[in-house]
C-alpha cells in the first residue's frame, strides 16, 4: 500500500524532472499562441484549449481548421488521426503500472500523456507511480498553457526568426530525454538509430511519403514497437 509520503516524493520528483520539459513547452507554445490569434481566438480561449488538449500538433491542426471555418466533424477526424499515437504511448505505459492501480489513476495518466512526458515516464526503472506523471504534467503543461497565452498577447511583437528558433528547442529537449537510456542499453540505442533511419526513409519513399506525418508516426511506432517486443522482450519483474 502506497503511503502519502511515497506519493509526495514521486510527485516532487516529477515536478523537478518536468522543469526542462516545461521550459521547452513555454518556448514552443508561443508559436501556438500566434496561430490561435490568427484563427480569431482570444487569450482565454487559446489558454483553455491548451489546458484541455495536451498535444502540439493536434492544437495546431485544430486552430488551422478553426481559421478555415471547417465543420466540427472535420476537426474531430483530423485531431483523432494526428493524436492517435497517444493511444500507443498509453498502451506502453500501462505495462509499467501496478495491476491494482485504480481506474481513475489510469484515466489521469492517460490524459497527461504527451511525447515528452511519455519519454520521461517510460524511462523510469521498475513500476511507475502515477504521481510521478502528475508531477511531470504540473510543471510542464502549466508552462504550455502559459506560453500559449503569452503568444496570443505578445507573440506578434517577436521577430519571426526568433519564434522559429524557439520551436526548435522542443526537439533538442526530446533528444536529451532519449539519450541517457540509449547510452545504457545497446538495444535501445539500436532502436533509436533505426527509428531515425526509418523516419527519413518514410519521408522520401513513394506512397509512404504521401501519407500525413501523423499516420507515418503511427505506422513507424507500431512497426518498431513490434520488432522491439519480438527481438528484445522484457521479462516480467518478480513480485
CB 238 within 8 A of CB 105: no
Residue 58 has a pLDDT of: 80
- pLDDT band for position 132 (cuts 50, 70, 90): very high
Residues 17-48 pLDDT 10s: 999 888 888 888 888 888 888 888 999 999 99
pTM: 0.70
Residue 239 has a pLDDT of: 37
| Residue 101 in this model has a pLDDT that exceeds 70 | yes
* Stretch 5-9: mean pLDDT: 83
Residue 18 gets which letter from DSSP? T
Radius of gyration of the chain from its Cα atoms, rounded to whole angstroms:
19
- pLDDT band for position 2 (cuts 50, 70, 90): very low
- pLDDT band for position 210 (cuts 50, 70, 90): confident
Residue 138 has a pLDDT of: 94
**How many Cα atoms sit within 13 Å of 18 on the Cβ side?**
27
Portion of the chain with pLDDT greater than 90, in percent = 24
User: If we measure between CA atoms, which residue out of 165, 137, 138 comes closest to residue 30?
Assistant: 165
Mean pLDDT of the chain: 83
Amino acid at each position: 500500500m502506497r503511503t502519502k509520503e511515497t506519493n509526495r516524493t514521486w510527485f516532487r520528483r516529477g515536478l523537478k524532472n518536468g522543469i526542462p520539459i516545461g521550459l521547452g513547452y513555454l518556448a514552443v507554445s508561443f508559436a501556438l499562441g500566434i496561430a490561435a490569434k490568427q484563427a480569431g481566438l482570444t487569450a482565454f480561449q487559446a489558454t483553455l484549449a491548451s489546458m484541455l488538449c495536451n498535444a502540439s500538433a493536434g492544437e495546431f491542426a485544430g486552430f488551422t481548421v478553426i481559421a478555415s471555418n471547417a465543420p466540427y466533424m472535420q476537426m474531430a477526424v483530423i485531431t483523432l488521426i494526428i493524436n492517435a499515437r497517444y493511444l500507443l504511448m498509453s498502451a506502453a505505459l500501462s505495462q509499467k503500472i501496478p495491476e491494482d492501480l485504480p481506474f481513475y489513476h489510469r484515466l489521469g495518466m492517460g490524459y497527461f500523456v504527451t511525447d515528452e512526458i511519455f519519454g520521461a515516464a517510460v524511462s523510469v526503472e521498475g513500476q511507475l507511480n502515477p504521481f510521478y506523471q502528475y508531477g511531470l504534467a504540473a510543471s510542464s503543461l502549466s508552462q504550455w498553457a502559459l506560453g500559449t497565452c503569452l503568444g496570443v498577447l505578445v507573440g506578434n511583437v517577436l521577430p519571426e526568426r526568433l519564434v522559429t528558433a524557439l520551436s526548435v528547442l522542443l526537439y533538442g529537449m526530446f533528444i536529451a530525454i532519449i539519450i541517457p537510456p540509449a547510452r545504457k542499453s545497446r538495444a535501445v540505442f539500436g532502436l533509436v538509430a533505426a527509428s531515425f533511419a526509418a523516419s527519413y526513409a518514410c519521408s522520401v519513399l513513394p506512397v509512404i511519403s504521401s501519407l500525413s506525418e501523423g499516420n507515418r508516426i503511427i505506422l513507424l511506432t507500431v512497426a518498431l514497437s513490434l520488432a522491439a517486443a519480438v527481438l528484445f522482450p522484457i521479462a516480467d519483474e518478480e513480485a
